Structure 1
Amino acid sequence: MSKNIQKMQNVKSVREVEIKDKRVLIRVDFNVPLDDELNISDDTRIREAIPTINYCIDAGAKSIILVSHLGRPKGKSDEFSLKVILKRLERLLNKNVVFADLDNAQVTLNTLVDGSIILLENIRFYEGEEKNDDNLSKKLASLCDVYVNDAFGTSHRKHSSTYGVAKYANVKVAGLLLKKEIDSFAVALSNPIRPLLLIVGGSKVSSKLTLLTSILDVVDKIVIGGAMSNTFLKAVGYDMKDSLVEDNLLEEAKNILRIAKEKHVKIYLPVDVVTTTKDKKDIKIVPAQDVPDERMAVDIGPATVRLFNEVIRDCETIIWNGPLGMYEDQKFSRGTFSISHTIADTYAYSVIGGGDTADAVNRAGDKDSISFTSTGGGASLELLEGVVLPAFEVLDTRE
């Protein structure tokens, strides 16, 4: 795992190439959450892109073209137009930004003065984006002298704007955010201060099976919560009644527990759980082995919170991916929020990965006390699984 992280750390940064008088295409990640009125509810991803854009401005770039996706559109639609980003972006940059469609981008570039910034319309409006279409990749590359990937959240995708374009760009480097992401994970994974703890939650074991298997050679302890812990609890013999359980993965769960024991990695499971009925009106805390009929586990209980908090306080490096209960419902948020508070109160180096986990930490009011919060969900998960992310594979590297 550390060897692959070192490979990704070896990609060239935008700081290491000539930018002055160059046309710079930056793949940013402006895939921000919007409310029903199409207002931005969290602009973190836009803010994280600003340092790279400002660096290119200060370095004298002739023009800066910003490329991003928004949501999962099926063709062009106002609902997924990046026009909703424009005003916030201009406010954060304190500069005018020209909005353009990719089809008119070259014409627009030719009419603008040096130093102009262009935001292109949602790249996923083009069918070829997710297919890594060669023609689309060439078209993007033709707009620039330097290609900069600063979109960690999509760095695990082989799309035209994150992968294919690099094939045709003369210079292709990492943005400041992309470098910060990989360097922050390197601190936690390559040479961590031990004990190293992984806290993993979320709804499904299946989505994190590769992670749990591959990371056993890296971590010292693992805390498992959320709905995925139900599968592990059933694997050790508990009847979880109406709780979400992946019965087809019980043997896999048993295997992970067995291998962890062989490798002397301590795994902690909930000892009590918060349960409720289907209508979520009746709430009861019970031992994990005594879930009543017609009830489901929706959060870790107070005894588990104390247990997990003791484990957290004993560790020097903490990686957290996945909430430990249905935190989005205030009635079932105590477990996740308590864990968040404890991590924030420690002096451990802490890394948060995954959109739901970052949202939970933000709701708990602990965002500023976490060492590093990743902007990528699927990307951070694949990084923890030990793979070289595709976006890093195609960038220029140092000698």
Structure 2
Amino acid sequence: MELNKQQLRRVRDRHHRRHGIKPAAARVARDARRFLARSFNVREGRAPYHVIRKRFVSGAQLNGTHLCILIVAMTIACIGLDTNSDIAIVGAMLICPLMGSVLAVAYGVATLDRRLTEQALAGLLLQMAFCLVTSTIYFRLSPIASTTAAITDNSTPTVWDLAIALAGGFAGGLGNTRDQEPATLISGVAVATALMPPLCAAGYGIAAASLPLFLSALYEFGINVVFIALAAEGVLLALRVPLKRDLNDDGIVTDEESRLADELSRKVRRRVIAGTIVFAIPCMLFTAGSIGSASQGVQDGYGVVQTTRELAAVLPGLEDYSVGSEVSANMTGGATDGGAGSATREVVARVSTQRELSDAEKETARRLIRLNVPELTRVEFSSAS
């Protein structure tokens, strides 16, 4: 009796299972999984748990030297933001000690060590206060203090800051758990995540009495702190760092305490994830609005799209409308006399129609354009006829 293809396949599969023979595709998939597991095994090269704890806990310990370095770093950062000096900003971030407190918070949350978490948070808040006071005093005394591009950049939270904080927190958490000393890696993470410049910008907001700038810069700092800690906590959980199971600190760990610690750990993880998602919503909305505005082009800062629709409704035969800036040179004393010159910036709108417009139509067009372009200098009309 001849077997069909489906029956032959079943017979072959039973034979392979009976003799432990795996199909070629299954072998390839299994080997690929093993290769990826070996390549991305973060547990390999892990330092002993007591060494990991010592490294993370040391970041929560403050002393006079620590705070002096913080003030010096903040002063350098203020000078960098005030003068748009990238070198000064990077130098301040290299010596900034804020990262240690953030990683200590992550360790305390991941291991359910309430005392360490409270100590690290208190240290972080104290350092924030020192940074804000230092930057406020600097910008109050600086004769050139102004809203520079660097200050604007560090008070505008976006999703990209969130992504950098996640990547930096992962690298910082991973570096602190390796056998080798993580000093170089942690310095690089401190530069990438930029904890200090937003605090510096917040201090400028206080000095300039600008509440929106202060809140925006402080929120950007908060985004960095929260997502650095979240990523570092994820690394610690992946490495299965032991929980603090002695919940009542009596020196004895009972089975009930161990069970409660496991339940509390899962509950804390869910709350942390939910809280960080909610905290990131304003950042996502701000980024979406920025992308939407940027996609309309620079010219639409003058409301070109909207004004074009309005002009088309009142000017029959409208062909084109545009707005642009022009710079004209004015000579005093005459060019041939070597007189002094000055430059004048003008905002010029151009309206092109199929026919010549009447004076009333031109005046209506000017009024519509000026609604979206208050700084309008003049309107130039042209027609095909």
TM-score > 0.5, shorter chain as reference: no
Alignment TM-score, normalising by the size of structure 1: 0.19
Bigger share in helix: 2
Larger RCO, structure (CA 8 Å, separation 6 or more): 1
Which structure has the larger Rg over C-alpha atoms?
2
